[in-house]
Amino acid sequence: MSHLPPHTLPGTPPHISRTRHYGGFLAAGLSALAVDAAVLLALTEWAGISPYAARLVSISLAMVVSWQINRRITFAVQTPPTLHEFARFAAVSWGAQAVNYAAFAALITWMPTLWPIWALIAASALAMFVSYAGFRFGVFKKP
């Protein structure tokens, strides 16, 4: 039987509520998406950079934003950030992006009449679960 209040999650500091935890994950994802889109737009529309190259930059910057919000709000990490922690976070994030792209590509290949936005939404939902599991149990796990 757990001695944690019912609104907390195992492995999460007791002062972090489920609302803050999952709300932080949502805020990190939406903030990263906004940075990703803004940087992609700026680099492609205003700087004339290829969308393929621009996307590598935009995803990378969005990843840093997501890391900071997830470590501070979602997982309430009290220790200073380290390069090793960021490397683990980046590995999980790039892995989740690979799952996202593979699922997207599979859906539009197997169902060619599917609106690409529906494929994007489904693939992103799958990647969200992959990234959350990786962040919670691989990056921000308690020693």
Which one, of 89, 95, 26, 39, lies nearest residue 63 by Cα?
89
As a whole number of angstroms, the distance between CA 22 and CA 87 comes to 23
10 against 59, higher pLDDT: 59
Band the pLDDT of 18: cuts 50, 70, 90: confident
As a whole number of angstroms, the distance between CA 14 and CA 118 comes to 38
Residues 103 and 127: beta-carbon distance below 8 Å: yes
CB under 8 Å to 42, separation ≥6 — which residues? none
Tokens 């190259």 appear where? 53
- For CA atoms 130, 133, 137, 141, give the dihedral sign: positive
Tens of pLDDT, residue by residue over 33-75, are 889 889 989 998 899 998 888 888 988 999 999 999 999 999 9
- For CA atoms 98, 21, 135, 90, give the dihedral sign: positive
Mean pLDDT of 88-92: 95
Tell me if residue 93 falls in helix, strand or coil: helix
